[in-house]
Amino acid sequence: MKKNIYSFLLCLMMVFVLAACGNTSEGASSNEADGSNDQSSSSDVETSSESSDAIEIEFMHMHGGDIVERLVEQYHEAQDEVRVKTTFVEGSYEGIVEQVQMRATTGSLPDVITNGHVYTRFAIDTLPVISLQSFMDEENYDTSDFFPSMLTLGQSDDGEQYGMPFAVSTPVVYFNEDHFEEVGLDPNNPPQTWDELREAAEKLTFDDRYGIYFDYQITGNWLYQAMVETAGGQMMEEDLSGVAFDTDAGRKALQYWVDLVNEDKSMPNIDRTQASQSFLSGNTSMFVTTTASLTSFRTQSDFEVGTAVFPTVDGLPRVVPAGGNNLFMLSVEPEKQAATWDFMKFAASAEGTTFIAQEIGYMVTRQSPLDEASLMGDFLEEVPAAKVTYDQVDEMVPWYNFPGSAGSRVYQIVQDNIQAALLQQKTVDEAITDAAKQANELLN
């Protein structure tokens, strides 16, 4: 779909907005439900070409470490017609969007990017992304193996496919199994509801140890959405006339966190990096965040890490927004589009999605690897903590994208008011009322 000049100007205006919002994202000791980290600075990784005739494409991503480079190496080993140059960008999903906007003005766009699910609508509406529907239709690309809920994460409102499923996460409860046993909690029967979780957090809180931390600073109000929708609410009115969290459900979600911090004193009001370190060092017993943190928690802790599904409340259904990102194409030249499409298919293959899932902690986006011993089968037996997220895959919903160019500012408004309530600078009612009023003024 062609984007007009107005869209590009609108994107430029958003650079300054997003730059102010790029300091919170999903993941623990990493920057995500995104699995990125700050161990590397923005850089290009040149990939040597074995063939002078090979087509070179650029893959811009926000995943720290060498995971993406190792995936690209596997792709190069599988074929010799396409060479992929990787570019790492700091700032998580906001950093990617900002870089695309800036480079669009110079005509030097990357060919493929990781685009956060929180920016799906924004990317389709305002960035020069290329629809994948014609590529899929032309070769009758089989999508039946993808989890249906994951495939929809990259679709426009009318069902056109723009994003290729790549990295998907859900919020889960991580817990220190040793701490559970110390206070008489059963690691094999972890808390399942808000009340049970709160009671467990109180038991686990003593001396200098905290019982729990909700990763509420994660980008795009991700965990707040999970809390609100699990409580029966929603983030936006169906007709887009205004935000919808100014309700009992929205207040109940925030009140729960305020009570943990200020009444029970079982949750520290610290930033997410400090909270991650606190969990890993044994100073916090439970951590509610993205499945993308699984590998870092397992490899950096000296205790057994257990996992539990996201808790429910009042007998209502569990609702978990999908974190993570899709692959979006920006190639303009037909030759590069074909090369990019080939790489995207490899990255989203059963082998590609398995690699990302095992190395970072994301979910596989396809169903078949779960039953294949050489892919996820044996891995899930060896790492039972990785199974939990699949227990709630049928309760997955899209990460809500506020409409229009003001969406990222709305996320920040909500975040600022949540923080004000936790600091007792505002009551819960004042925080939610103010957030809704300010958000509606921007959106309308």
Give the pLDDT confidence of 421-435 residue by residue, as tens digits: 999 999 999 999 999
Cβ contacts of 310 within 8 Å, gap of 6 or more: 170, 171, 172, 173, 226, 230, 288, 318, 320, 392
Residue 104 pLDDT > 80: yes
Total domains present in the chain: 2
Range of the domain at 366: 5-169+323-397
115, 123 Cβ separation under 8 angstroms: yes
Task: Give yes or no: residues 283 and 161 share one domain.
Answer: no
Q: Please give the pLDDT value at position 28.
A: 40
Weakest-pLDDT range from 52-66, 67-81, 187-201, 279-293 = 52-66
Task: Give yes or no: residues 129 and 204 share one domain.
Answer: no
The band of 11, judged by pLDDT with boundaries at 50, 70 and 90, is very low
Domain holding 207: CATH number? 3.40.190.10
How is residue 256 annotated by DSSP? H
Of 49 and 406, more confident: 406
Weakest-pLDDT range from 2-11, 133-142, 248-257 = 2-11
Task: Give yes or no: residues 127 and 52 share one domain.
Answer: yes
Q: What is the DSSP string of 44-75?
A: EE----S-TTPEEEEEEE---TTHHHHHHHHH
Q: Please give the pLDDT value at position 50.
A: 52
Residue 328 pLDDT > 50: yes
* 397 φ/ψ angles, rounded to the nearest 5 degrees: -130, 160
The band of 15, judged by pLDDT with boundaries at 50, 70 and 90, is very low
Could you give the angle at which helices 248-258 and 222-230 cross, rounded to 10 degrees?
120
Task: Give yes or no: residues 256 and 143 share one domain.
Answer: no
| Mean pLDDT on 324-353 | 97
Q: Please give the pLDDT value at position 407.
A: 82
Residue 313 pLDDT > 70: yes
Predicted structure pTM score: 0.88
Task: Give yes or no: residues 132 and 268 share one domain.
Answer: no
Task: Give yes or no: residues 179 and 278 share one domain.
Answer: yes
Task: Give yes or no: residues 243 and 374 share one domain.
Answer: no
Q: Please give the pLDDT value at position 91.
A: 84
| Average pLDDT along the chain | 90
Task: Give yes or no: residues 142 and 242 share one domain.
Answer: no
Cα torsion 22, 28, 29, 33: sign: negative
The band of 23, judged by pLDDT with boundaries at 50, 70 and 90, is very low
Task: Give yes or no: residues 69 and 159 share one domain.
Answer: yes
Task: Give yes or no: residues 96 and 23 share one domain.
Answer: yes
Task: Give yes or no: residues 280 and 422 share one domain.
Answer: yes
Task: Give yes or no: residues 161 and 198 share one domain.
Answer: no
**Which three-class secondary structure state does DSSP give residue 422?**
helix
